Amino acid sequence: MENIFIIRVFFDFSAISCLWTGNDNAESRWGYNINLDKFPISENIKSLIISAQNDFENIVDLNFKAKNDKKLEAEQLNKKCREIIHLLKNELGDEFSIIDKLKIETT
Mean pLDDT, consecutive 10-residue stretches, the chain (107 aa), reads 87 92 96 95 97 92 87 91 95 95 76
**Maximum alpha-carbon separation in the chain:** 45
Question: Which pLDDT belongs to residue 2?
Answer: 63
> What phi-psi label fits residue 18: left (phi over 0), alpha (psi between -120 and 50 degrees) or beta?
alpha
Question: Which pLDDT belongs to residue 41?
Answer: 97
Question: Which pLDDT belongs to residue 89?
Answer: 96
**Separation between Cα atoms, residue 43 and residue 37, nearest integer Å:** 9
Question: Which pLDDT belongs to residue 30?
Answer: 95
